[in-house]
Amino acid sequence: MNAPIIRIRGVSRTYDRSDAARPALAGIDLEVRAGEALAVLGRSGSGKSTLLNLIAGLDRPSEGRVEVDGVAVHELGEAALAEYRRTRIGMVFQFFNLLDDLNVLDNVLLPAQLAGMRREQARARAEELLERLGVARHARAFPGRLSGGERQRVAVARALMNRPPLLLADEPTGALDTASAADVRDLLRGLNEEGQTILLVTHDTALAEACARRTIELLDGRLVRDTADVPSPEAVR
Amino acid sequence: MSALSKVVRAGVGRKRVQTLVMVLTTMMSVTACILATGLLVAAQGPYQRSFTAQHGAHLNVLYDPAKASPAQLAATAGAPGVTASSGPYPALTVQAHAGTDTKVPPPGSPLPPMTLVGRAQDGPMDGLRITTGRWVAGPGEVVFLDGHSPLAVGDSMQFPDLPGKPVLKVVGLASSVSWSADGWIAPEQVAGLTAPGTVPAAQYLYRFAHAGTDAEVTADRAALAAAVPGGALARVTSYRPAQEAANRTASTFVPFVTAFGVLGLAMSVLIIGVVVSGAVGAATRRIGILKALGFTPAQVARAYVGQALIPAGVGTALGVLGGNLLSVPVLGLAHKALRGGLLGIPLWVDVVVAVVALAAVAGTALVPALRAGRLRTVEALAVGRAGTGTGGAADRGRSARRGGTDGRVARGRELIGRLPVPRAFSLGLATPLNRPARSVTTAAAVALGTIGVTLSVGLTLSLGAFQDGLTAGRSDQVLVEVPFDGSTPVDHVDEAAVAKAIEARPGVRAWYSSAPSTAVPAGSTSRSQVVAFSGDTSRSGYQLVSGRWFQGPGEIVVGATFLRANQAKVGDTIALTDHGRSVPTKITGEILATDDMVFVDRATLAPLGNTVHTEASSFHIDLTPGTDAHAYADALDEAVSPMGLTAEPGGQHISIVMLAMNTLAVTLTVLLSVVAGLGVLNTVLLDTRERVHDLGVLKALGMSPRQTVGMVLTSVCGSGLVAGLIGVPLGILVHHAVMPAMARAAGVGVPEADLTVFDLSVVGPLILGGLVLALLGAALPATWAARTRTVTALRTE
């Protein structure tokens, strides 16, 4: 069995510091192993995005520990967090978050350029990813010219640019039409089958079923279900 | 409270940083404008203003009481043309010595002869205004004419030759627009300072119905002379020279204050325009919400003009206050330099500047507010969500507009992206392409600031060089001269012995002697001051406006006043005359001098024989580098003091006018620079706020705080450099126009060397100054951007 790539212990996140405040996350313990595809389900306000933000180092827990790929994310300063985000994770957002004033190739190149990768090496990697994700013909186009599905493919290419051990996806099909959503679903499943660890936050149960071998569900900031705890049919037999 | 008011108040309160920037920008702009306008007003007829305010006198007359009775003197009040008079005041011409407590001049040293008048501070004429210290409380105290005091307040002076050896303490300095005395004492002090066997003169001050020209003043004087017995007029002083000097000085202020005023006004309008239109532009989505709620376009426009006017109003009020507070020291200095003028900002200046500033704000807010008001609600609502849409047609169009269907912008971005610099920097360098108009306006404001800084630096250097030229005869490293109290007759200076003493000590590079004299140019009725030189004058420091220095007997260099008075020009031949003898001379150059000066080789005056004085009274010594001027002067002083001479290190002399000009230039430059910096701050703030979501994305992709700061700072580098490259040459052009205009106003020409002060060591830092100004303005938003939490930025629409 692979070693855990995400290890979360007793994590809580409270935005309002008053005693009566309801925590966005409360006492979460979670482990995700390398190569796993985990879907985080839950209603709006359940704490899904907060969990993702904590793992991505975009936010800090009020309590508890968040370790990713051996890095204690909750202890990192801003500069170290930037380094962490550059090297350990790739992020895919619901609304793509591509920079409109950069063309597709430049958008994909960004993480490598921020990490200081050599120009030729970065370009080769970006072209390889665009080719692999089927958007190479749009390399010189600006994001505004692409369909939603194409934009999300570009966003995935950008997320994979620095070969991160962990891919985080926040409602990756949430802004897409049905066909594009299916397209992105297939893409993520393919990536996981190639060994990419994926943690995705979604409302889309179809996406979760198609891509994730394990799902957890949050309700009011608490982990209420984890399919890893349910014995598999094989185990029951 | 109406819905409109609530919207306005909420808008002001919500955007605190932007509101603060607007307050600060309008405040600094209004402060600069008030100060510049106040100075321009102060420079308009300052003497006449003070003359009226202080009830100045056209003529100041000292009568010999032995030759006219008190009744006869009192009757002069009814002389033809006299409209007001005051007196008699007892007046003494005294020879005092520094007290035992002075530092400069040394204790006990003789002071120049001075006229002291016993009178009260106020009177029907020539009201005296205390500028330092206080008025005399009784005997034992003296108040000196400000700017002409030989001693500092607190020092004392003594009269060892008078019975009882009286001592006076300097308790204050006062300004007198009529310049009616060197100092004032209590009337009861006069008797104690009157030498045995003499009587004090009687001072009367007069104002006349007609005294606007020299001819009228001469006629007025004649009327007084006719009213008293012959010889009773001991001394008559006209207000005209003081008036002309003050007006000439005031005129020199006008060109550079005007230049700074125009720069300040243009910059203020630009910056206010950027700030206000940026504020309204940034609120477009909010405007969409208001329209969706039922606000009419007119209500929207009113709301946003009001939203701009509230911080602008606060800033204007603070600016008026700041301008008036800052004007106290600045106008005080100008008042000293101009010998009059304003000491405070007139109310109408406050009102006009405030109204113009608020009108500029309202005008610049109205255009984008009306545009926003007319915007279709759905479009307004969609603004700020570009790039987060779902890929629909509207979103694509909007993204495409931002993203660069504009081929040139896209190409520009690609080119910048290929620069061999870190990606964070190339992203920053491309930022101005997002809002080219705003970037150009901000660059223009920084360029104006750079022009101001360049002009200020140039003026400081030029005025310094100019002052050096004017005081060349006093700024040599060591100066040997006859003490100014006249205790040693110049006829007794043994020039050969002095020369021997000078050359006997090591370290002398060159030296020359000068002899002051006078002569009458042929065809003229007035005497010109003549300085006859002997020795090596190559290092004298005198500056030529045109032509060349004299090379031997028969050649002279003269000041502009001489050329004007004699309608001569360089190259002309003119005879110098004295007591029936004359010597032809050729004018080989125009020297920088404010007075009617002629500089000659001493041998030139030989044909005039003994009619003119040509004995040297000053010896000017230039030392080799590394020689200690103080040690040399001390050693030489020991040798020349037995001859009745003193040897002292020379020094730089800074006049109050130059000091005032430099202070004003620096003050206005600082204000302009702050306004330019605020403009940059606002632009970067707007850019950063508008792109905060992109900033969040970049941070999510791994942009470090240092990279974020680098990106934001480099976003202004291009504008700063371009502003420097444009602003510095323009600043030099303005300097080259302003400096000669100032010199013309002073009645002199500008030596080329005083104008060409911008060498590479000056221009280089000045060009970088635009960049520094821009970086300083961007520093705060850069820090803010680096500190912005990624998750917050990502949530921002």
Q: Assign residue A68 the CATH number of its domain.
A: 3.40.50.300
Classify residue B136: in a domain, yes or no.
yes
Residues B302 and B164 in one domain: no
- Rounded Cα–Cα distance for residues B129 and B127 (Å): 7
Shortest distance between the Cα of B760 and any Cα of chain A, in A, equals: 37
Q: B430: nearest CA in chain A?
A: A101
Classify residue B604: in a domain, yes or no.
yes
Residue B116's alpha-carbon distances to A191, A212, B61, B70, B191, in angstroms, are 102, 105, 14, 20, 12
Q: What percent of chain A has pLDDT over 70?
A: 94
User: What is the structure's pLDDT at B261?
Assistant: 75
- Is the per-residue pLDDT at B108 higher than 80? no
- Is the per-residue pLDDT at B513 higher than 80? yes
Residues B450 and B483 in one domain: no
Q: What percent of chain B has pLDDT over 90?
A: 9
Indicate yes or no: CB of B390 within 8 angstroms of CB of A87.
no
**Other C-beta atoms lying within 10 Å of the C-beta of residue B237:** 18
Indicate yes or no: CB of A86 within 8 angstroms of CB of B701.
yes
Domain boundary among the residues B188, B204, B238 is at B238
Q: Does the CB of A172 have a partner CB in chain B at under 8 Å? A: no
* Chain A residues touching residue B400 (CB < 8 angstroms): 142, 144-145
Indicate yes or no: CB of B404 within 8 angstroms of CB of A101.
yes
Q: Which of B292, B229, B302, B268 is nearest to B37 (CA)?
A: B268
Shortest distance between the Cα of A1 and any Cα of chain B, in A, equals: 30
Domain boundary among the residues B365, B383, B401 is at B383
Mean pLDDT value across residues B431-457: 85
Residues B596 and B705 in one domain: no
Q: What percent of chain A has pLDDT over 90?
A: 52
Residues B328 and B304 in one domain: yes
User: What is the structure's pLDDT at B380?
Assistant: 67
* Chain A residues touching residue B698 (CB < 8 angstroms): 99, 110, 114
B620 and B476 Cβ atoms separated by less than 8 Å: yes
Classify residue A17: in a domain, yes or no.
yes
Classify residue B70: in a domain, yes or no.
yes
Residues B317 and B379 in one domain: yes
Classify residue B407: in a domain, yes or no.
no
| Residue B397 binned pLDDT confidence (cut-offs 50, 70, 90) | very low
Per the DSSP assignment, residues forming a β-bridge with B116 are B92, B183
- Rounded Cα–Cα distance for residues B561 and A201 (Å): 89
Question: What pLDDT digit, counting tens, does each position of B204-254 carry?
Answer: 999 999 888 888 888 888 888 888 888 888 888 888 877 777 777 777 777
Indicate yes or no: CB of B701 within 8 angstroms of CB of A91.
yes
| Residue B1 binned pLDDT confidence (cut-offs 50, 70, 90) | low
- Rounded Cα–Cα distance for residues B357 and B276 (Å): 12
B136 and B91 Cβ atoms separated by less than 8 Å: no
Domain boundary among the residues B206, B238, B270 is at B238
Classify residue B390: in a domain, yes or no.
no
Containing domain of residue B190, as a range? Answer: 57-238
Q: Which of residues 212-231 of A touch B (CB under 8 A)?
A: none
- Is the per-residue pLDDT at B705 higher than 70? yes
Classify residue A54: in a domain, yes or no.
yes
- Is the per-residue pLDDT at B790 higher than 80? yes
User: What is the structure's pLDDT at B752?
Assistant: 84
Residues B287 and B376 in one domain: yes
Listed in sequence order, the residues at least 6 apart from B239 whose beta carbon sits closer than 8 Å to its beta carbon are B51, B56, B57, B58, B59, B60, B177, B178, B179, B211, B217
Residues B83 and B232 in one domain: yes
Question: What pLDDT digit, counting tens, does each position of A39-59 carry?
Answer: 999 988 899 989 999 999 988
Angle A104-114/A119-132 helices, nearest 10 degrees?
130
Question: What pLDDT digit, counting tens, does each position of B348-382 carry?
Answer: 989 998 998 888 888 888 887 787 777 777 666 66
Containing domain of residue A227, as a range? Answer: 1-80+199-237
Residues B572 and B456 in one domain: no
Residues B630 and B487 in one domain: yes
Classify residue A5: in a domain, yes or no.
yes
| Residue B479 binned pLDDT confidence (cut-offs 50, 70, 90) | confident
Residues B143 and B279 in one domain: no
Shortest distance between the Cα of B12 and any Cα of chain A, in A, equals: 26
| Residue B383 binned pLDDT confidence (cut-offs 50, 70, 90) | low
- Is the per-residue pLDDT at B615 higher than 80? no
Q: What is the dihedral of CA B685, B686, B689, B693, to 10 degrees?
A: -120
Residue B610's alpha-carbon distances to B33, B599, B613, B619, B634, in angstroms, are 59, 18, 7, 21, 34
- Rounded Cα–Cα distance for residues B782 and B177 (Å): 55
Listed in sequence order, the residues at least 6 apart from B236 whose beta carbon sits closer than 8 Å to its beta carbon are B59, B60, B61, B62, B221, B224
Which range is most confident: A6-15, B333-342, B447-456, B762-771? A6-15
Residues B69 and B213 in one domain: yes
Residue A123 structure tokens:
């370009």
Mean pLDDT value across residues A26-33: 93
Classify residue B389: in a domain, yes or no.
no
Which range is most confident: A6-20, A35-49, B564-578, B748-762? A35-49
- Is the per-residue pLDDT at B636 higher than 50? yes
Residues B677 and B658 in one domain: yes
- Rounded Cα–Cα distance for residues B157 and B96 (Å): 6
Mean pLDDT value across residues B110-124: 83
Mean pLDDT, all residues of chain B? 81
Torsions phi, psi of B453, nearest 5? Answer: -65, -45
- Is the per-residue pLDDT at B509 higher than 70? yes
Q: Which of A83, A88, A91, A89 is nearest to A115 (CA)?
A: A83
Indicate yes or no: CB of B794 within 8 angstroms of CB of A106.
no
Give the number of domains in chain A. 1
Residue B562's alpha-carbon distances to B56, B514, B528, B548, B598, in angstroms, are 30, 19, 7, 16, 8
**Amino acid found at B37:** T
User: What is the structure's pLDDT at B730?
Assistant: 93
Shortest distance between the Cα of A111 and any Cα of chain B, in A, equals: 6
Give the number of domains in chain B. 4
User: What is the structure's pLDDT at A109?
Assistant: 92
CA dihedral (B190, B191, B195, B197) positive or negative: positive
